[in-house]
Chain A
Amino acid sequence: MTTPTPQTTHVRPNYMLIWLYLFVMTIAEVLLAFKLPVSPNVKLILLLILAIWKALLVALFFMHLKFERWRLRVIFIVPLPLAIILVTTVIMEKVF
């Protein structure tokens, strides 16, 4: 049995602009990794920030997570802290 859902009136994102962001950030990543004279630690942090930023753009605008109901976002968000706990626990076991 289904119940009618009210029509939402979200504004459609500019998908081509997001594609351009992703493209430019990918080029920036490659340049940062191989061409720019940056210390390894700063490079590592910047590369991770760029990767997370790109992943967020895909999740929020291409997967429309930004426009979804909160309860649906929770399904996607819940595994993330679990993932951090998993990696941290294994690293702790390695360290100690």
Chain B
Amino acid sequence: MQTTTMTDAMRPPVPAEPGAGVYSNKLGMWVFLASDVMFFTALIGSYIVLRFGMGSAWARPGAVLNVPLTGLNTFLLICSSVSMVKAYAAIADGKKYFLRKVPGKTLQDGGLKFWLLVTIICGAGFVGVQVVEYIKLVGHGFTPTGYREGSLLAEHALADPVKYGAGVAGMYGSTFFTMTGFHGFHVTCGVISMLYLYFTKVLPEKYSPQDYRGIEVIGLYWHFVDLVWIILFTIVYLI
């Protein structure tokens, strides 16, 4: 992998606890993430078993779900992940500010306040787009119990049962809303946590290059949420 900045950026934000070799907050987050891996595995695993164990085929990719809209959401989440890691790198370098002019450069240099705000905006944007997606899907007749009777989707499913997976619409709806709903809940929790940190720690400049545990720990959570979405996007929307 190419590199640009030669610093000791991965230095620990505080001294480590004896034993595990990392500070307790970070170890706790990793253990939580390990349990969350199992949680999402249960959901995704159930989806795979139900989908490929059913006799009839599920709706084709793009037939029911709005892939361009979700593609935009994926882009937002990827952008939020890079802005989160830039926030981490900024505070590790002691850049607590919002934006600062750099001599000889057109673009201003972003600090912790700037990059974390970008992350919050992208995360909130993701949740907003997901709400719009849900409203549109339910409006078209796609609900957790399948295609609503008399809806546009139910008519399409009657006309072309193979393309819309008419035989397993209920299973499709319940697994789709369960998986994306739980992921959306995780994103919402992340945005609320980042907002809390932003107003109570980042704006009052309580983080320093000597101690920025909160940023590293929330960053781990946020990247994990991004990682799960990468898998979900492929499995639910593209396959």
**Residues of chain A having any CB pair with chain B under 8 Å:** 1-5, 7-19, 22-23, 26, 29-30, 32-34, 44, 47-48, 50-51, 54-55, 58-59, 61-64, 67, 69, 71-72, 75-76, 78-80, 82-83, 86-87, 90-91, 94
Q: Could you tell me if A63 and B220 are in contact, using CB atoms closer than 8 angstroms?
A: yes
| With contact pairs A12-B5, A19-B78, A29-B238 given, residues A3 and B230 touching in the complex (Cβ less than 8 Å) | no
Bound-state Cα–Cα, A13 to B31, Å: 25
Bound-state Cα–Cα, A7 to B210, Å: 12
Select from chain B the residue with minimum beta-carbon distance to A94.
B53
**B158 at the A interface (CB under 8 A):** no
Q: How distant is A27 from chain B, measured CB to nearest CB, in Å?
A: 8
Bound-state Cα–Cα, A6 to B167, Å: 61
Q: Could you tell me if A76 and B49 are in contact, using CB atoms closer than 8 angstroms?
A: no
Main SS of the interface on chain A? helix
Contacts of B23 in A (CB 8 A): 2
Q: Could you tell me if B15 and A58 are in contact, using CB atoms closer than 8 angstroms?
A: no
Q: Could you tell me if A50 and B84 are in contact, using CB atoms closer than 8 angstroms?
A: no
Q: Could you tell me if A62 and B9 are in contact, using CB atoms closer than 8 angstroms?
A: no
**B42 at the A interface (CB under 8 A):** yes
Contacts of B61 in A (CB 8 A): 33-34
Give the top 7 A-B pairs by smallest Cβ distance, nearest first: A83-B41, A51-B234, A12-B9, A87-B45, A19-B82, A33-B238, A10-B10
Q: Could you tell me if A76 and B30 are in contact, using CB atoms closer than 8 angstroms?
A: yes
Instruction: Out of A3, A30, A76, A79, name the residue touching B67 (CB < 8 Å).
Output: A30
